[in-house]
Amino acid sequence: MLADEAQERVTVAGSCGLTPEYIALVSDEGSLVIHPPGSELDTPAARAFREARTIAVPEVRAARAYGRLKMLAPALGYRSLIASPLRAPDEVIGLLVGTARARTTSTPTRSSSSSCWPSRPRSRCRPRGSGPGSRR
């Protein structure tokens, strides 16, 4: 996910394993605002961007915040989420967000951020807009 120039929103710039419906859902108006008007509209991705640190949510349904996410995650097939900032030399420019179908049992450390996340087979990953029928 990459931030817009004003750093008001983040949008999906590339994906792996996400359905077009999911991408449309997380790209709708107001869903990925970096500074949302209230905690019910906040997301781990927005928080990771604002705080410039990795945010792990081992069990989305048990999270104290992220109201909308608690309803969407189970319907979209995942239980855990991790969001890590992508940094340029002087600023955060975007995020790397991963999800897992299983509940994770630990929080990632700075040096091993993927150690607690279930492995999955390699799949076709591509930048957004590079699929069949898209123009470049």
Higher pLDDT, 111 or 60: 60
Tell me whether residue 75 is in a domain. yes
- What pLDDT is recorded for position 106? 54
Residue type, 111: S
- What pLDDT is recorded for position 110? 43
pTM exceeds 0.95, yes or no: no
Q: What is the three-state SS of the chain?
A: CEECCCCCEEECCEEECCCHHHHHHHCCCCCCECCCCCHHHCCHHHHHHHHCCCEEECCHHHCCCCHHHHHHHHHHCCCEEEEEEEECCCCEEEEEEEEECCCCCCCCCCCCCCCCCCCCCCCCEEECCCCCCCCC
Burial of residue 126, with CB atoms counted within 10 A of its CB: 0-12 exposed, 13-18 middle, 19 or more buried: exposed
**CATH number of the CATH domain containing 82:** 3.30.450.40
Residue 56 reports pLDDT greater than 50: yes
- What percentage of the chain exceeds 70 in pLDDT? 73
Residue 53 reports pLDDT greater than 80: yes
- What pLDDT is recorded for position 30? 55
Tell me whether residue 134 is in a domain. no
- Per-residue pLDDT tens over the stretch 67-120: 777 777 877 788 899 999 999 999 999 999 988 887 776 555 443 333 344 444
Tell me whether residue 27 is in a domain. yes
- What pLDDT is recorded for position 129? 57
| Tally of structural domains, the chain | 1
Residues 6+ apart with CB under 8 A from 4: 10, 11
